[in-house]
Amino acid sequence: MSSDPLPVTGAWRPGDAPGGRRFFTFATDRRFALDSGATLRDVVVAYETWGSLDADAGNAVLLCHAWTGDSHASGPAGRGHAEPGWWSSMVGPGLPIDTDRYHVVCANVLGGCQGSTGPASPHPDDGRPYGSRFPVVTIRDMVRAQSRLADHLGIAGWMSVIGGSMGGMQALEWAVMHPRRVRSLVAIATCMQATAQQIAWGGIGRQAVRLDPKWDGGDYYDRAPGDGPAEGLAIARQIAQVTFRSDNVFTDRFGRDFSGRAEAGDILGMWQQYEVERYLRHHGDKIVRRFDANSYLAIGKAMDLHDVARGRGSLERAMARIQVPTMAVGIWSDMLYPAYQQRAIADEVGRNGVASEYHEIDSPHGHDAFLIDGDQIADRLDGFLAEASKLR
């Protein structure tokens, strides 16, 4: 764990080293309308690109990130990016999402904290962070912001929209909201509608952040460094981290090992730590350094609100809008987005005679296997994208 002082918020701020980020600002004259009825102006989308756009702009791939991801899908850690790209094993020259062949775009989501407008961003009215003034955003709002970016980049349609977990929710909404702008779809470890159990985990995490007296109702940005809602965010993150992994792997990796470190205390003390607790705490503390608690709330809420059927009559009618080849991928050990949910995506798309396929990652790592064992779908994804590249 780093010994740098803890920030009041882990949000990237304008003026910090940009890393590979570029920025696009829209809604400078007309306000951007959200699902909730609220509006935003001067909306920034931070994004990165890899590879060259063809003359006919036909080789553009949109990659959508998950909860605490950002635009840095590929490449090393460095100034501006504390971590290497979250899918460096899959995105790059000669990799399945081949940046020698495709122009890959990844944008930080609306509500995020890595350069795109979110709760830690300066409010245009007063330059102070939005904090509690930041409105609820939905997956559809994220897609709307991405569609503005696509316009700006001259990308009329995506050869493929690809995402895992929350990224897959965006991919599904892209195909439903903009059927003429998407030519294929890859939805990994995701769902058409957040389930009650997913909402349950999300809602408990939100309560933990709210319980932190340093959350200040969402307006904690004036606190001193190290004095932000680190504890609440760390607890929320730990809940998520358990659901991202699996019983098997926790047993294999940690068993009942006692941490044995000085801070772990006596083995029969109330606050002694087993290795698994130390591991979770490490993940909890780590998120605090690179993520904003309000963004964590905003994005988590967007996932719970995710429902492709909302306002569209029924799930069947919503999914019938998807008329492009679809690859759905599940993970047998995923306790958070169980494989039946991705099988259902392939079934719904295929119901209308549209080409759909389902693949399962055979990994014990749970939900995070889409990041850890993505190579299992490398060949098939490579083939799927090669076919998609012929669709113009």
200 sits near a copy of itself (criterion: CB under 8 A): yes
* 48's tokens: 């990165």
Member of 85, 92, 118, 338 binding a copy of itself (CB under 8 A)? 338
DSSP per residue over 102-165, as a string?
A: -EEEEEPPTT-SSSSS-TTSBPTTTSSB-GGGPPP--HHHHHHHHHHHHHHHT-SSBSEEEEET
268 contacts a copy of itself (rule: CB under 8 A): yes
Separation in Å, CA 365 to CA 222, 246, 331, 369, 380? 39, 6, 9, 5, 20
Residue 116 or 246 having the CB closest to a copy of itself: 246
Among candidate residues 165, 184, 333, 356, the one labeled active-site is 165
CB 311, min distance to a copy of itself, A: 11
Q: Counting every residue, how long is the chain?
A: 392
CA angle 365, 356, 300 (to 5 degrees): 45
- Is 239 a binding residue for a copy of itself by CB under 8 A? The answer is yes
Q: How far is the CB of 329 from a copy of itself (least distance, A)?
A: 19
Secondary structure (3-state) at 259: coil
Spatial distance between the Cα atoms of 141 and 116, rounded to a whole number of angstroms: 13
Of 99, 97, 116, the residue nearest 53 (C-alpha): 99
Taking the complex as a whole, how short is the minimal distance between the CB of residue 333 and a copy of itself, in angstroms? Answer: 12
Catalytic residue among 71, 367, 368, 389: 367
Tell me: does residue 208 bind a copy of itself (CB under 8 A). yes
Backbone φ and ψ for 30, nearest 5 degrees, come out as -115, 135
Q: How far is the CB of 132 from a copy of itself (least distance, A)?
A: 9
33 binds a copy of itself (CB under 8 A): no
Q: Per rule CB under 8 A, is residue 253 in the interface with a copy of itself?
A: yes
By CB under 8 A, residue 225 contacts a copy of itself? no
Least distance in Å: CB of 238 to a copy of itself? 5
367 catalytic? Reply is yes
Structure token digits, residue 156: 């009329």
Other CB atoms within 10 A of residue 76 CB: 12
Catalytically active residues are: 165, 334, 367
Residues that bind a copy of itself (CB under 8 A): 35-37, 136, 138, 193-197, 199-201, 203-204, 206-208, 211-213, 231-232, 234-235, 238-239, 242, 246-247, 250-251, 253-256, 266, 268-271, 273-277, 280, 297-298, 301, 304-305, 307, 335, 338
